[in-house]
Amino acid sequence: MKIRLLKEGYKKDELLYTAFKNGEVVDDLFFSEETMEIEEAPDFPIYMGKGSEIQKKADFLAAFQAIASSYVKVDRDIHLDERFWHSLLITKKRDYILEKYPQVLESYREFSNIVIKGFDWENYIYKCILAVEYIEDATELVLSKEQYYELIVDNLDIYNYIIKYSIFRNGEFLVKILTVIHNLGISELLKGKITDRPDLGKDERYGRRVIFELNKAYPVLMSPLLDIEALEEEFLKALGNYCDVSGIESQNKVVL
């Protein structure tokens, strides 16, 4: 499948939105000379910002699966290219988007937020691509890939923070952290809001603070390089700043 790439500056072009609404993004005016070639481009959910938790989880897993079976196999230059994704969505996925996210027709804001969202850690496609890359490329997994995919969705908050900080943005670290969380069985705790610390920000959660603590300590403490046992220890130490961790112990769900 040949994807024509949109012309630079398309993000600020409200004409593009109007044309998209009318299904008329065909004019040369919108496109650059460049094209990208990919073999197949299956549909997958591109926005999980709204909906029930069950729906979000199902969408994430569907996205992981679609990406793992196709997009992740193409060159990184392609699947990590923002312009590629936006061009693909606008030129080939209009019907899918309108069906699944009809709100994009309502306002330019919705369109910007769902279709041409900046390709960084807040973008759902970006999240999914990285997750799939990390899990598919991992060589030493103690759990099954499916379990890791579920763990990512169950610990999205932590996952977001890991890919937000460039120092932690790597597959091995993610897999280790997920393994630790799984092993300690503290997914639910980590998602919880910290209520007894008004000095912290408004929406502080235990999981986020742990990752932040590890960030603050880097590079004196090179957490990405620790093995799972040592990481578990540091993880609990960081968590200990915010709640009582004496009751948490390794449930030895997996043999390390």
Partner 1 sequence: MNAADNQWQFSKIPNIEESNFNKILERFYSLGVAGLTRENIQNSLDGRLTELDEPVVVKIQLGKVNRQAIPGMGSIVQRINSLEGRNGYTKETISHMKASMMSEEVRYISFEDSNTRGLTGAKYGQSNSKEHTWGIYAYNKGVHFEEKDESFEASRGGSHGVGKIASNAASDVHMMFFANCDAEGEQHLGGTIQLIEHKLGDHYYRSTGYFAKLEGSKFMPFENQYDKIFEKTTRGLKIVIPFLRDSFYREDEVIRSVCDSFFVSIMEKKLVVHVNDLVIDADSIDAIVTDSQYYVQEIEAMKKVFTPLYVKTYKNQQPRLIEIPHANTVFQFNLYFNYDERIPKGRVGIIRTIGMKIEDFTVKNNATKPFNAVLIGGIDEDSYLKSLENESHTKISSDDLKDPALTKLAKKFISNLNKEIVKVIDEEMRSHNPVDGKINTSDLLYTMELDFKENLSQSFGTVKIKNGKNIVTSDEDNKAETTPAKVKRKKRENDGAGKPKESGIRRKGKARDKGEDESAAEDQKDEYKINPYRVERLLLHDQEFIQLNLTGSPEVAKAKKCNLKFNIIDGMGKEYIGEFNMKENYSDIIDKNTSNPCVIESDVIKNVSIKNGIVHLQLALKPKYNRSLKFIYYVEV
Cβ proximity to partner 1, 78 vs 221, nearer residue: 221
Q: Dig out the tokens for 9 from the structure.
A: 């500056």
Cβ proximity to partner 1, 47 vs 71, nearer residue: 47
Which residues on neighbouring strands pair with residue 35, listed in sequence order?
Answer: 4
Which residues ranging from 13 to 32 are in contact with partner 1 (CB under 8 A)?
19, 22-24, 26-28
- Cis amide linkage into residue 219, ω under 30° from 0: yes
Closest approach, Cβ 180 to partner 1, in A, equals 18
37 counts as binding partner 1 under rule CB under 8 A = no
Taking the alpha carbons at both ends of the chain, their separation in whole angstroms is 44
112 counts as binding partner 1 under rule CB under 8 A = no
- # residues contacting partner 1 (CB under 8 A): 27
98 counts as binding partner 1 under rule CB under 8 A = yes
Q: Dig out the tokens for 207 from the structure.
A: 């999981």
167 counts as binding partner 1 under rule CB under 8 A = yes
Cβ proximity to partner 1, 222 vs 254, nearer residue: 222
160 counts as binding partner 1 under rule CB under 8 A = no
Distance CA(113)–CA(103), nearest Å, equals 10
Q: How distant, in Å, are the alpha carbons of 6, 174, 178, 198 from that of 213?
A: 41, 16, 17, 18
Helix or strand holding residue 35 (H, E): strand 31-37
Judged by CB under 8 A, the stretch of 142-150, 186-194, 211-219, 247-255 that binds partner 1 is 211-219
Cβ proximity to partner 1, 128 vs 236, nearer residue: 236
Cβ proximity to partner 1, 22 vs 139, nearer residue: 22
C-alpha angle 180-150-231 in degrees, rounded to nearest 5: 15
Q: How distant, in Å, are the alpha carbons of 141, 148, 171, 180 from that of 255?
A: 12, 16, 20, 11
Which residues lie near partner 1 (CB under 8 A)?
19, 22-24, 26-28, 33, 94-95, 98-99, 165-167, 199, 212-221, 241
